[in-house]
Structure formats: C-alpha cells, structure tokens
Chain A
C-alpha cells in the first residue's frame, strides 16, 4: 500500500552570503511516512532552529527539498498534475502558530470559512454552506451564532485559533500539519484547542503532525514523537516512553526545562551548556556534542546511528550503545509500533 505522504531522505540546506556562503542544514536526511490506513498524531519536538517548521513546510509543499523526495500518494510532489495538486491541497491542511496573523482584518471571520467552501465546491447553495460552517464551528466547541459575522478583532485568540481548526476540518483532510498551534494562546485555553484537535483525530481519522517545543502538550496529544535538533532526529518512538524515560541527553534537557506547575519539583537540575559553535549543522559528528554533558571524543567524529532502546523507542546516542543498532530507515518501523 502506498503511503499518503512520505518524506524520503529529505534534506533542506539554506545558504546565505554570496561569495563564501554560510551553509545551514535545516533538515538532514529525514524520512517520515504518514499512512492513510492508520491515522496517528505525530509530534515533532525541538527548540527554535531545530528544523521542525522546515519539516512542516516540506510536507505542505511550500518549499521543495534540497535533496531527497516528497511523495504524495506514491507520486513525487514535483510531478503532480494540476488535478492531483488540487486534491493534495484539500487533503493536507495547515494550522499555523499565530491566530492574529492568519486573518485579514478587513473581512469578517466568515471569510476564512466561505473561501474554501467556494473554491472546493463543498456546498451547492448558500444554505448548505451556512449549515456546513455551523457544523464545523460546533465541532470545535464554538457557537456559530456568536462567531459568524464578527471581525477578527472582536474575538479572543483562543476563539480565532479554533475557527482555524474548524476551517481545516471543513475540507475533510487526511492530514493536518499544526505548526505550534497553541504557543500564542493563553495557557488556560491551550487545553480546549488541543482537545478539539484530538477529538477530530479520533472521530474523523485524520493524521496530525503536531509541531511544538512543548513536550507536555506533545505527551497528551500524540501517539508517537520525533525529537529534532539542528535538523537531525535525536530520539523517536512511542510518546510515553520517550517523555517518561528519555534516553537522549537532548530530550532530557528539553524535559528538564519544562516549568512544572508543582512547587515541589525543582526546575532545571541539569545545567544548560551553551553552544560554543563547535558542532555546526554541517558536522559529521553528533550535532548535540557541543552542548552535551556526556560528550565523548567519538561523538565529535562520527554521528551515532539509532539504537533500539526498546521496541518502541530509538535514540541516536552512544550512551545507548549497548542496545541493538538500527539503520536510519528503521526509525519509521519503531514509530509505527507506537
């Protein structure tokens, strides 16, 4: 069976400067498969600059890879016909970070819902369109009569973000790419938005790629997780395993940096080592070596491959060397078990 969307050995390299270009590898030989048959929520976690948004843009077809290929229903993205591209645009929907910038302030919020209905011919007449809009809004826990006809500035950030979720759902997509959907929303409203994404996944069988830097929400929402650092996967697997028993020092640092809402837990026991720039994104060694508290000489020479810590978790770190080694392409197998 062909996968719905597949990244195969994708790299994305950005160059800046004309004469001696400074090369930044935003994504390094990354592969990921999203199946239609068993929808999942995959969390992609990492700090700013880890390549997680580049990954999202690749999946949505906003940018092309520098090397490697992106496949949609088994066809290379660059060779899609017009009709297939149209289908792709309906199947893959996006939820972006900023619920303020996603709206045109001159239109009422109905606009973001009516445009896709019109473009994709989802309704035969106005009544049906209105009904569809109402239904989509109710699904994300909003009351249509309070929302329709209003301007973006009259609504709260949480409401606006939920309308964006409703818009994505209107098209009955197969995949939703959610790039930091809750990072600009009040902490108290995050739960409601994540809940609506989660129920949509459950009820409609949509796969979600949840891009975030927040491991706690990733833990609650997703089935499987991929931890990225400077474009390379550090650790991946079933989410409870990775979050509760992190094996890679980078995952541990991420978890240690979460401010827990519990005064008895001390924040940040492991000190953050500053990046001294000795492991650029183009290094052949481990990219985390310059910040790793457990760094060994071999880390700086050859990057570690994945080690299968347990059947549902793989870590790219020599600290897990005692576990069986995995080829890079086997990561997807570990993820699929989650």
Chain B
C-alpha cells in the first residue's frame, strides 16, 4: 500500500517522483531488543514539492531523514524498503556510490547549525570541502566563484567566507548550512528542524530563503519538524508520524481542514491561536516506548476517541479524495473523525454556551482586525 499523492493539481499524471520512498523500515538493535523506528513508510515527492514530516520527539522523523541520506549508524540498520531519487536507487548503492550521491542527489540541512559547522575552520573551507570532493575538476578560481555564488544565494555577504562559525549569529550559521546543502544543486533537500533554535523573525527569514531556493532551483524539500504552524505556512503536503508509522499524509489544506486521524487533529488544536485566552489543549500522555508498543493501534493509549477494535487490530491505510491517506479505524465509522469532533464540540457547547461561541472562529490577527 502506498501513500501516494498524485491527485494534486499542478503535477501532470505522467510526472515521475523525484523522491520515492517505498516500505522503508529502519530497525535499531539494542540490548533490550529490536525496535522499529521507521515502520513501512511510503511516500512520493515530486519535483518542486514541499513535504512536511511532523511528529513528536521519538516519532521517527529524524530516523527517516538519516535513512534517506543513508546515514543510519549501527546499531541501526535499514532493514527493508527502497529509497529512489529519480532513477537512482539509494538503498542498492555501494558505500562509495552513496558517498558520491550524498549532497549531489540529496542534500541535508542539519538540525543544530551551531554544532554542524567545524569551529576551527573558516566558512570558505567548509563550503570548498563539498565542492572539491564532488567536483574535483573545478579550478581554484571556479571554486571561489561558486563559494561566493552560494553565499549570495542564501543572502550572505561574500566576506562571510572569511569568518569562523563563532563570529556568525544563529541565523547566519543556519544559512551557511543551507548554502552547503544547495552547493551541488541536489534534487532533494532534507531540512531537519532547521529553525528550532531560532527566534520567530529569524525563523521566518530562513524559511523564506529555503522557499526561494526551492522555487528557483526547483528542488524538492522535505521539512521535518514538530511545529504545525510552520508546516501550515510552508509545505504543500504533510505527513504525520507517530511511533515510527505514518498516521496520515495528504495535501496540507485538506489535512488542516479535515484531518482524518485524531493525532493530526490534536496536533493542530494543541497550538495556541489568538482565540480564547488561557485555554490550553495539550496532548495528554507521552509517545509509547518503541520497545513496548501497545497492541493494535499505537495511538490508542492517548486517543480520546478510542474504540474496542483499536486494541485488537492495527488500522490499515485508508485513501480519501485528493491523495489523502489516514490509518485510523474511525475512517470506517459513519461520520468519521469529523463526526466525533463535532459531537464533542456540541456537548461542550451545551455545558458551557458562552465559551463555545468565543472559542471558534478567531485565529489570527487578520481575522481580529488588528492590522491596518
């Protein structure tokens, strides 16, 4: 079964995916037993598309990022499935072939820009490194020209090349990491929480840069993170991970308007908006340990809509319109998740009529008329 998203507008049906992940499994072999951090994950990414991969800590999203780069280290291992970039099968490559494909076909913007750069080497040498290894035929002046070119592409002054990482701000360091990731013009970039350590304004600027490069170079982007707000504003497709499995995948507007997995719904409503003040809707409980997963559906221990069938059977993926796929038993219940959520809201409204009116509708400053 695959979570394909070919039903979207904009991509002709004949277009080949630039990144195709099929039944990818990653296992970690620990003293306490084998645990599956990535369980039969499949998705397709088309040229110029932006896919978001969300989930809480420990949901396997960073494992997928590493698996796509084939950088899983022992005791971890890719134990099944295939990763194709264009026509190249990354999982079938030898280590040497993979070394040449990494950064050239598939680039990565790491999570901690602070520690991703070598503190005792100038920025110039760190970018040069990538270029020289992958394109040994370039002359010195060509390499220097390329360094300036990529720095300018990420909106940094060429003089930054002569600085050391500690002389740069957090946002600038992250830009250098982006410059390195796009230096060889890969087809796909994986950005693993690229802005988690940055404040809101810098985050916006960095994301704007990634978005601009994605459009200009027609790169496909996989954005990994846990902030649904950032996802709503940046990606056009969204995959929600829970305990190593894909809970739901589909076009972002559809997922936000009509989520078909309770976890997606809870992730969205856990974010504060400018609606009712002082209302907190966290997701109770914690992600289960991958060594002691519950039977049936992994989310049932935290799910507010749990049914009898959830503990006995694992849900299968159900396809909805427009490439929207979810794994939840509620999909086979009349009304589905939407019905349950609406019933709950009605019940709340009966108990507390004043709150319910205020609570819905208001979302951002634009709707409250704050801006002139």
Residues of A within 8 A of B (CB): 47-48, 156-159, 184, 186-192, 194-195, 198, 213-217, 219-221, 240, 243-246, 252-263, 265, 267-268, 272
Q: Contact size class for B?
A: 35 or more
Structural contact, B208 and A268, CB atoms closer than 8 A: yes
Given contacts A188-B266, A191-B280, A192-B280, whether A258 and B56 have CB atoms under 8 Å apart is: no
Q: Which of A184, A259, A260, A261 has the most CB of B within 10 A?
A: A261
Complex contact A240–B277 (CB within 8 A): yes
Query: For residue B199, which residues in chain A have a CB less than 8 angstroms away from its CB?
Result: 47-48, 213
| B278→A258 contact, CB < 8 A | no
Q: Is the CB of B273 within 8 A of A216?
A: yes
Bound complex: CA A226 to CA B183 (Å): 42
- Whether the pair A262, B363 counts as a contact (CB closer than 8 A) is yes
Answer yes or no: B32 CB below 8 A from chain A CBs.
no
Is A263 a contact of B365 with CB atoms below 8 Å? no
B234 to chain A, nearest CB (A): 7
Q: Which residues of A contact B120 (CB under 8 A)?
A: none
Contact yes or no, B233 A267, CB < 8 A: yes
Partner of B272, one of A219, A253, A257, A272: A219
Q: Is B280 in contact with A220, judged by CB distance below 8 angstroms?
A: yes
Contact of A187 with B227 in the complex, beta carbons under 8 Å: yes
- Cα distance A198–B366 in the bound complex, in angstroms: 27
- Please tell me which stretch of B282-290, B320-328, B352-360 contacts chain A, meaning at least 4 of its Cβ atoms lie within 8 angstroms of it: B282-290
**Quick one: closest A residue to B272, CB to CB?**
A216
Residues of B near A48 (CB, < 8 A) are 169-170, 198-199, 202
- Closest Cβ of chain B to A198, distance in Å, is 7
Which chain B residue has the least Cβ–Cβ distance from A221? B278
What's the nearest-Cβ distance from chain B to residue A218, in Å? 9
Which one of A158, A240, A262 lies within 8 Å of B273 (CB-CB)?
A262
Residues of B contacting A255 in the complex (Cβ-Cβ under 8 angstroms) = 365, 370
Contacts of A191 in B (CB 8 A): 270, 272, 280-283
CB of B56 within 8 A of CB of A186, answer: yes
Contact residues in B for A263 (Cβ distance below 8 Å): 232-233, 252-253, 256-257
Decide: B280 and A245 in contact? CB cutoff 8 A.
Answer: no
Q: Which residues on B are within 8 Å of A, measured CB to CB?
A: 56-58, 169-170, 196, 198-205, 207-208, 226-234, 252-253, 256-257, 266-268, 270-274, 277-284, 286-287, 363-368, 370-371
> In the complex, A184 Cα to B111 Cα: how many Å?
13
Q: Is A262 a contact partner of B56 (Cβ separation < 8 A)?
A: no
10 closest cross-chain pairs (CB), A and B: A191-B282, A192-B282, A267-B233, A259-B229, A213-B199, A195-B280, A191-B280, A259-B233, A257-B204, A261-B229
Can you sample 8 A-B contacts with CB below 8 Å? A187-B271, A191-B270, A216-B273, A240-B277, A244-B368, A255-B370, A259-B234, A260-B229
A220 touches B279 (CB 8 A): yes
In-complex Cβ contact of A186 among B208, B226, B230, B279 (8 A): B226
| Interchain CB contact (< 8 A) of B226 among A156, A188, A256, A262 | A188
Are A188 and B283 in touch, CB under 8 angstroms?
yes
- Cβ–Cβ contact A246 & B286, under 8 A: no
Chain B residues near A221: list those with CB within 8 A.
278
Query: In the complex, how many angstroms separate the beta carbon of A182 from the nearest chain B beta carbon?
Result: 10
Whether B256 and A261, one on each chain, are in contact in the complex, defined by CB atoms closer than 8 angstroms, is yes
Task: Give chain A nearest CB distance to B53 CB in angstroms.
Answer: 14
Contact between A47 and B200, CB atoms less than 8 A apart: yes
Instruction: Decide: A260 near B233, CB < 8 A? Known: A47-B202, A188-B56, A216-B272.
Output: yes
